[in-house]
Amino acid sequence: MPASRKLHFNAFMRPASIHTGAWRYPGAWPDMNFNFIRMKYCIQRLEAAKFDAYFMADHMAVLNMPMDALKRSHTSTSFEPFTLLSALSQCTERIGLVATGSTTFDAPYHIARRFASLDHISGGRAGWNIVTTSNPDAALNFGMDEHMEHGERYNRAREFYDVVTGLWDSWADDAFVRDVESGTFFDPDKMHVLNHKGRYLSVRGPLNIARPVQGWPVIVQAGASDAGRQLAAETAEMVFTALPNIEAGRAFFADVKGRMKRAGRNPQHMTIMPACMVILGDTIEEAKQKRALLDSKVNYANAIATLSIALGHDASKFDPDKPLPDDIPESNASKSGRERAIALGKRENMTVRQLAQRLGGFGGLAMVGTPKSVADEMEEWLMTDATDGFTLQFPYLPGGLDDFCDLVIPELQRRGLFRTEYEGTTLRETLGLPRPENRFFSRAASAAE
């Protein structure tokens, strides 16, 4: 492994913090997800720390949950990603700007045009997170009575990717000559009409915007299913995924990069960045106390419903202040999810209430400790081929973000594991990715003319 290998970091802003109790934490900004001034503070703080990208998730519907739970959700209102990132691009210079764009409920021409525009406006910092949208309620907002089947969504996504990237290649990089004397604005020989007619999509083209600064915005993929991994192997340059531990990280890393190689792509042209929440303290015990306080902010009725789903059994009948009983009946729930919940409760000696609030707040990968212990964990993930970096999910804002920037980043920089300056001006340069060749107009051909 190259000694110069370094970690990459995204900041996952969904749209404020991933933990459902985050907005209630002492000192947190409850309105973070709908306050531009506070978002501006966060992205400028992240850029000063040299983060790779600001990653903006999106919801195509208000979350499908009972009203008693929904009324407690801080994600029920948020900005539309392109509007927000376009504005944030004007108060930053280097940090990448990644937005989610649905292949199920949007049109490829819209996606291609929006991302090309963001790439030009930001000077080459855009990234497209390709999602198929799993929320069935979203279908009801787009004229569909039923959600598209999982396999069909991924088949459509693969064709969607081909169309969008084809539209980005509508123009040669030097097509717009803007010759004032002759009155020629562009060279017609350097415009390509796509004329795509496929199983799911029919798009003529060309795109009515010049080729993006990066050639293509960086392609991001977040699916973890077999179909999602294959789509990532064929198309993605950055992968965002949920992994429970380092062993799962090594297996995922080997699988997806192996698929990528079999697809004829260079595995170094993909950055795998699993989701990770980091909670810091002066001691490990203090960090654990912060985690416990954060989890306690999750409403118990919401939390026990989450635990019931994980166990496949009505957990509200258990004594909330005692451990899980040993004789929970078998069910049709996911065996792995059920086993993880039970194992977590036993490993950390949790009461039913504590376990429910942990799963109801954030049940994914978390590093809870001191700046040094967290840096140690991240270094192990990097050096044992479990990851290329992390998509960080801050426990609350702005405090969780400030702690990471002030305490962990300097520690990693001292170890030579994280940059002290950006490698270039575009997101591709930051990630060490090549600029894609135009499939219709090669640079060699243009230079020879």
CB 218 within 8 A of CB 238: yes
Q: Between 122 and 103, whose confidence is greater?
A: 122
CB 221 within 8 A of CB 235: yes
For the chain, what is the mean pLDDT?
A: 89
| DSSP-assigned beta bridge partners for residue 239 | 221, 272
pLDDT at 39 over 80: yes
Which of 131-145, 185-199, 277-291, 364-378 comes out lowest in average pLDDT?
131-145
pLDDT 10s digits, 104-141:
778 999 999 999 999 999 999 999 999 876 555 555 65
Q: Between 76 and 414, whose confidence is greater?
A: 414
- The rounded percent of the chain whose pLDDT value lies above 70 is 88
Three-state SS for the chain is: CCCCCCCEEEEEECCCCCCCCHHHCCCCCCCHHHCHHHHHHHHHHHHHCCCCEEEECCCCCCCCCCHHHHCCCCCCCCCCHHHHHHHHHCCCCCCEEEEEEECCCCCHHHHHHHHHHHHHHHCCCEEEEEECCCCHHHHHHCCCCCCCCHHHHHHHHHHHHHHHHHHHCCECCCCCCCECCCCECCCHHHECCCCEECCCCEECCCCCCCCCCCCCCEEEECCCCHHHHHHHHHHCCEECCCCCCHHHHHHHHHHHHHHHHHCCCCHHHCEECCEEEEEECCCHHHHHHHHHHHHHCCCHHHHHHHHHHHHCCCHHHCCCCCCCCCCCCCCCCCHHHHHHHHHHHHHCCCCHHHHHHHHHHCCCCEEEECHHHHHHHHHHHHHCCCCCEEEEECCCCCHHHHHHHHHHHHHHHHCCCCCCCCCCCCHHHHHCCCCCCCCCCCHHHHHHC
Average pLDDT over residues 319-345: 82
**Rounded to an integer, what distance in angstroms lies between the CA atom of residue 234 and that of residue 324?**
44
pLDDT at res. 2 = 47
Which of 157-166, 190-199, 242-251, 328-337 comes out lowest in average pLDDT?
328-337
Which of 33-37, 177-181, 308-312 comes out lowest in average pLDDT?
308-312
Domain residue extents for the chain: 8-277+370-448, 284-361
Cβ-Cβ contacts under 8 Å for 170 (sequence gap 6 or more): 191, 192, 193, 194, 205, 206, 207, 211, 440
pLDDT at res. 351 = 94
Cβ-Cβ contacts under 8 Å for 226 (sequence gap 6 or more): none
Q: How confident is the model at residue 1 (pLDDT cuts 50, 70, 90)?
A: very low
Cβ-Cβ contacts under 8 Å for 97 (sequence gap 6 or more): 53, 54, 56, 85, 88, 89, 118, 122, 125, 126, 127, 427
- 342 residue type, one letter: I
Q: What is the pTM of this model?
A: 0.89
pLDDT 10s digits, 296-320:
998 888 888 888 888 888 898 999 9
Phi-psi region of 435 (alpha: psi -120 to 50; beta: other; left: phi over 0): beta
pLDDT 10s digits, 229-251:
998 999 999 999 989 899 999 99
pLDDT 10s digits, 41-69:
999 999 999 999 999 877 655 666 566 66
Average pLDDT over residues 10-34: 83
Token pair 């400030």 in the structure block, residue: 402
Cβ-Cβ contacts under 8 Å for 399 (sequence gap 6 or more): 25, 27, 28
**Domain at 8-277+370-448, CATH from 3.30.750.24, 3.40.50.1970, 1.10.3720.10, 3.20.20.30:** 3.20.20.30
pLDDT 10s digits, 199-219:
999 999 999 999 999 999 999
pLDDT at res. 447 = 53
pLDDT at res. 16 = 47
Which of 142-146, 228-232, 338-342 comes out lowest in average pLDDT?
142-146
Q: Between 14 and 223, whose confidence is greater?
A: 223
CB 28 within 8 A of CB 396: yes
Q: Is 179 exposed, middle or buried (0-12, 13-18, 19+ CB in 10 A)?
A: exposed
pLDDT 10s digits, 255-306:
999 999 999 999 999 999 999 999 999 999 999 999 999 999 988 888 888 8
